[in-house]
Amino acid sequence: MKFCKYLLCFFIIVFIIFQNLNVFADDIETENIDDISSFLQTFSNFSEEPLINSRSAIVFDRNSKQVLFGKNENEKRKMASTTKIMTAIIVIENAKLDDIVKVSAKAAGTGGSRLGLHTNDKISVLNLLYGLLLCSGNDAAVALAEHVGGSLPDFASLMNKKCNELGLSSTNFVTPHGLDNENHYTTAYELALITDYALKNDTFKNIVGTKNYTVTINSYSKNLSNTNELLGALDGVYGVKTGFTNGANRCLVTSIKRGDLDIICIVLGADTKKDRTKDSIELINYVFNNFEIVNIKEKIFNEFNNWKIYNSSNFVVAKGVSNNIDLVLDDLKFDYLPVNRNDIDSLSIYIYCDYNFQAPLKANSIIGYISVSLQNETILTINIRNSNTIGQKKFGSYILELTKNYTHYLENLFSCIDKF
């Protein structure tokens, strides 16, 4: 009987340990992909949108901020260690890279994927960032969060404050590492916005683009390898982050630049590492094989200048000292727009503008706009303004104008009399 009790206790302990391992599983690569090159050869040509395994995905153009492909891109999902993109940018913006961090017992005891920190280890912020982003160290995430925020909840507050600054409404952070929590989520679209913001920081961009790096912990060195399987394997890839938990499944955020096309590809909720790799390559190849860059700035300005030639004399400013409106466009935030070759013919530019105004008309007043549409969906609007002030006529101006008109009338009258 006593033996049965011991045996039962043993199985309970094993069950608890197994459950904890599952909870903390994050970027621990138990699944290997032998040959990525086979994916590159198999998925080299696409003309139709690929069917992917991942529950949510997006391809986001960094220049125009347009979504080139989307699958449930606005659906809230767990995002595992892709969380560390935001963790890193908060640290970079709020700490000195050469600061030395003393590792707490809490950080050292954090499970899942690890840099391998121990209590009271001393390591620089920069080395912790490499441990955070290359080998996805959850212990590094906690050490950095405690160093910058003082505590995990306070650091999460900094993360959510940044979300507010970026205008994100479907993202909430609870932890710096992304271990499963029901209140810790984002969407593929908002994760793309976070990634785009982070990649503007050179320190972040350099770290996530590093394949191998040697960190120093105390006085000993440790070699790290990037968990991003596409970095160095697929042309143009320069970052950024992998992720895995049981709740989030396999996740991968990838940045790729070829020529003028610079995109972020995100897959969330893939069943396996093979699926996330396959899905990412399919989406990347689909975009680069099917989208071409259009100089949208040139098209807009050509259309606008032609329109001005035919319409500049049609403006009337009632009670104004003149009708001479100087038309200008607001600045475009980007020059080039990637467009699917199948949709090029549907790209349209429309100009909407008022012609009648009441004086006074202030400088820089919005008097119309240009709309750019693709497949009958508006993708861009630019304001049309008048650059000059047009004042209201004074009483004396009316007398002067009346005198001029009367004089002109008399001149015409006398001209007619002379003819007789």
Query: Which residues form the catalytic set?
Result: 81, 84, 136
d(CA 416, CA 189): 75
d(CA 39, CA 315): 60
d(CA 277, CA 250): 9
Check: CB of residue 178 under 8 Å from CB of residue 65: no
- Please list the residues that pair with 242 across neighbouring strands: 252
CA distances to 204, 327, 364 from 353, rounded to whole Å, are 44, 10, 14
